[in-house]
Amino acid sequence: MKKNWPLWEVFVRSKNGLEHRHFGSLHAADADMALENARDVYTRRNEGVSIWVVESKNITASNPENNGELFEPAQDKIYRHPTFYDLPDEVKHM
Amino acid sequence: MSEEQIKNLEAQFEARIARDEKIEPKDWMPEKYRKTHIRQMSQHAHSEIVGMLPEGNWITRAPSLRRKVALLAKVQDEAGHGLYLYSACETLGISRDELYEQLHSGKAKYSSIFNYPTVTWADMGAIGWLVDGAAIINQVPLCSTSYGPYARAMIRVCKEESFHQRQGYEIMIKLANGTPEQKEMAQDALNRWWWPSLMMLGPTDAESVHTEQSMKWKLKRKSNDDLRQQFIDQTVPQADLIGLTIPDPDLKWNEERQSYDFGPINWDEFWQVVKGHGPCNKERMNARVGAWERGAWVREAAMAHAEKKASKNQEKAM
């Protein structure tokens, strides 16, 4: 039976001090090949110093249909932001 | 879902795009949006992949090492661009295999320009200068298209592609300033690639069936005719600068429009090539399908090797 190469997601750290960021995806037979392919496909111009690959099926993503219950509760919690608090003008930096 | 609910969702969807919000893969989208994007993005990916063939023809015969590394890097970029776009397309729920199948069976189209032959080295110059030039004009507006994965892929493509056009123009400059034979070669390439490059920007607005919907979805930000005019206006001075002549006797600066007027385009030729009767349609497809088939055992062997390694690791762990 014909089996296709699985899909992998590629994350690249562009330089030390920065986080790995999602760059795209590619197909490869295994993790080693995914790394090699990621190097050729996504870092031809010094875009990275480190690569992560993870098989796409291992990622669990939230569903946009649930965005309301997931993210809306944060909207009315303005007391989590510094501007919510009153300070006398004399206090310049806090 | 009831019809009314769908109507409601569609209205919200259109409003999001109008607000310049991006659409991401798991968001609800109208079926037509999904299909149109699969069609356009895969067509774009196929064009990158088939676009390697006319240039691959010259890699081994590049006239210097400088030219050879540049052409090799350009062709490698095109493979990369094809892969970015295929991946972006797959986020819409179609598999890589289905996409290839559509290309190989002729169901999916690719840019008609790649069905023209590359008979001299000057064609490498003309392709970079004109074909990539026209492609960039087409692609830059897509960096802000509504579908997130497509926009992100296009940003990367556009960033990388600016060297493609420069390397082509540099080839033309060198030839145009060379011996009379070399200059003749450059002029001949321009003569052959000029009109197909204008056609590449698509049928006239009156004939273009998808424009209105595509404008709404930001799959298109300017009409084909506007893009074509922009291409002509930017390219004519570049030809003048290196002493080459655009092969259009009707080409004339229009002071009032601040644009060039140009002669009629042979749309019969365009439709012939689109329908598969161009000079190299068969050759391109044979090369592409042949490469895919000859590579089948490699893909299978790699998969078998990966499975064997995985099961060995599992045994070790037990």
Cα separation of B317 and B246, whole Å? 69
A71 lies within 8 A of chain B by CB: no
Q: Who has greater pLDDT, A1 or B88?
A: B88
Cα separation of A6 and A56, whole Å? 8
Taking CB atoms and an 8 Å limit, are B305 and A26 in contact across chains?
A: no
**B211, B220 Cβ separation under 8 angstroms:** yes
Is A54 a residue whose pLDDT tops 80? yes
Dig out the tokens for B261 from the structure.
């007027």
Taking CB atoms and an 8 Å limit, are A29 and B302 in contact across chains?
A: yes
A7 lies within 8 A of chain B by CB: yes
Q: What is the 3-state secondary structure (H, E, C) of B166-196?
A: HHHHHHHHHHHCCCHHHHHHHHHHHHHHHHH
Phi, psi torsion values for B31, nearest 5 degrees: -55, -35
Phi, psi torsion values for B252, nearest 5 degrees: -155, 140
Q: Give the closest of A5, A7, A61 to B90, CB-based.
A: A7
Cα separation of B216 and B193, whole Å? 32
Residue corresponding to tokens 């092969």: B247
Taking CB atoms and an 8 Å limit, are A30 and B306 in contact across chains?
A: yes
At CB < 8 Å, which residues of chain B contact A?
Answer: 24, 26-28, 73, 76-77, 80, 83-84, 87-88, 90, 95-97, 152-153, 160, 299-300, 302-303, 305-306, 309-310
Dig out the tokens for B86 from the structure.
């295929």
Cα separation of A39 and B254, whole Å? 49
Chain A residues with CB under 8 Å of B77 CB are 44
Q: In this prediction, what percent of chain B has a pLDDT beyond 70? A: 100
With a cut of 0.90, is the ipTM above it? no
Give the pLDDT of residue A56: 95
Give the pLDDT of residue B26: 93
Cα separation of B222 and B202, whole Å? 12
Q: Give the closest of A2, A3, A64 to B26, CB-based.
A: A64
Is A1 a residue whose pLDDT tops 70? no
Low-confidence ranges of chain B (pLDDT < 50): none
**B52, B75 Cβ separation under 8 angstroms:** yes
Angle between helices B31-59 and B65-90 (to 10 degrees): 160
Residues with Cβ < 8 Å from B203, sequence gap 6 or more?
A: B224, B267, B270
**B129, B169 Cβ separation under 8 angstroms:** yes
Strand order in the sheet with A20-27: A20-27, A7-13, A50-55
Which of helix, strand or coil describes residue B25?
A: coil
Q: Mean pLDDT, to the nearest integer, of A40-57?
A: 95
A64 lies within 8 A of chain B by CB: yes
Chain B residues with CB under 8 Å of A65 CB are 28
Residues with Cβ < 8 Å from A38, sequence gap 6 or more?
A: A8, A10, A12, A23, A26, A51, A53
Chain B residues with CB under 8 Å of A3 CB are 300, 303
Chain B residues with CB under 8 Å of A30 CB are 302, 305-306, 309-310
Which of helix, strand or coil describes residue B23?
A: strand
**B139, B77 Cβ separation under 8 angstroms:** no
Dig out the tokens for B304 from the structure.
């078998």
Q: Give the closest of B83, B87, B303 to A5, CB-based.
A: B303
Taking CB atoms and an 8 Å limit, are A40 and B300 in contact across chains?
A: no
Find, in chain A, the residue whose alpha carbon is nearest to that of B98: A4
B82-129 pLDDT, tens digit per residue, is 999 999 999 999 999 999 999 999 999 999 999 999 999 999 999 999
Distance from CA of A51 to the nearest CA of B (A): 17
Q: In this prediction, what percent of chain B has a pLDDT beyond 90? A: 89
**B107, B94 Cβ separation under 8 angstroms:** no
Supply angle C-alpha B148, A9, B72, rounded to 5.
85
**B131, B197 Cβ separation under 8 angstroms:** yes
Residue corresponding to tokens 């056609």: B199
Give the pLDDT of residue B315: 86
A10-44 pLDDT, tens digit per residue, is 999 999 999 999 999 999 999 999 999 999 999 99
**CA proximity to B22, closest of B217, B183, B158:** B217
**CA proximity to B146, closest of B271, B37, B267:** B37
Cα separation of B23 and B10, whole Å? 13
**Model confidence at A6, in pLDDT bands (50, 70, 90)?**
very high
Dig out the tokens for A49 from the structure.
């110093």
Give the pLDDT of residue A94: 86
Cα separation of B63 and B124, whole Å? 11
- Looking at residue B279, its amino acid is P
Dig out the tokens for B297 from the structure.
């055992």
pTM above 0.95, yes or no: no
